Amino acid sequence: MKLFPKIVAVCCSSLVLTSCMEVLDKTDLGSTSGALIFNDSTLTQMNLDFVYDQNLPTGIATLGPGSPNSPSVTTLSDESFGESKLLEGSLLVNEVGDFGTALSATNNYGKIRVINMFLSDVNAGTLPQYTKNKLRAQAQFFRAWRYFDLVRLYGGVPLVLTPLAAVGVEARDKAFLPRNSTTETFAAIVKDLDSTIASVPGRWNSSDWGRITKGTAAALKGRVLLTAASPQFNPGDAVAKWQTAYDANKQAVDLLTANGYGLHASFDQLWFQEVNNPEAVFVTGFNTATGDQARKNNGYDNATRPSYTGTSGGSNQPSWEMVKAFPMLDGKKPGESTKYAYSDQLFYKNRDPRFNKTIAYNGVNWPLNGNTSYKLWTYFAGGKTVEPKATNTGFYTRKAVNPTPAIGDVQFSGTDWIEIRFAEVLLNLAESAVGINKLDEAYTQLIAIRKRAGIEAGTDGLYGLKANMTRAELFSAILDERQIEFAFEGKRFWDLRRWKLIEKTLNGTRRTGVTINLKTTGVPADFATTRDNINLDLAYTNYFTLEFKPLDTKYAINWKPEYYFFAIPQSAIDNNPKLIQNTTWGGAFDPLK
Residue 467 is given by DSSP the state T
Mean confidence (pLDDT) of the chain: 91
Q: Is 512 helix (H, G, I), strand (E, B) or coil?
A: strand
Each residue of 104-134: pLDDT tens digit? 778 899 999 999 999 999 999 999 999 999 9
Question: What average pLDDT does the segment 180-200 reach?
Answer: 98
Each residue of 65-109: pLDDT tens digit? 666 668 899 999 999 999 999 999 999 998 887 776 666 778 899
* CA-angle at 452, arms to 218 and 372, nearest 5°: 115
**Would the pLDDT of 30 be above 50?**
no
Question: d(Cα 572, Cα 176) in Å, to the nearest integer?
Answer: 11
Nearest 5°: phi and psi at 461? 70, 20
- Contact yes or no for 382/251 (Cβ under 8 A): no
Each residue of 439-468: pLDDT tens digit? 999 999 999 999 999 999 999 999 999 999
| pLDDT band with cut points at 50, 70 and 90 for residue 224 | very high
**Would the pLDDT of 29 be above 80?**
no
Q: At what angle do helices 422-435 and 239-258 cross, to 10 degrees?
A: 150
Sign of CA dihedral 497, 501, 505, 506: positive
Question: What average pLDDT does the segment 335-356 reach?
Answer: 98
Question: What average pLDDT does the segment 216-238 reach?
Answer: 98
Q: Beta-carbon neighbour count of residue 83 at 10 Å?
A: 16
Closest C-alpha to 481, from 457, 504, 455, 507? 455
Question: d(Cα 418, Cα 422) in Å, to the nearest integer?
Answer: 10
**Residue 409 confidence (pLDDT):** 84
**Residue 20 confidence (pLDDT):** 39
* CA-angle at 25, arms to 20 and 30, nearest 5°: 90
- Contact yes or no for 341/330 (Cβ under 8 A): no
Question: d(Cα 383, Cα 400) in Å, to the nearest integer?
Answer: 32
Each residue of 527-578: pLDDT tens digit? 999 999 999 999 999 999 999 999 999 999 999 999 999 999 998 999 899 9
**Would the pLDDT of 11 be above 60?**
no
**Would the pLDDT of 2 be above 50?**
no
Question: What average pLDDT does the segment 304-333 reach?
Answer: 95
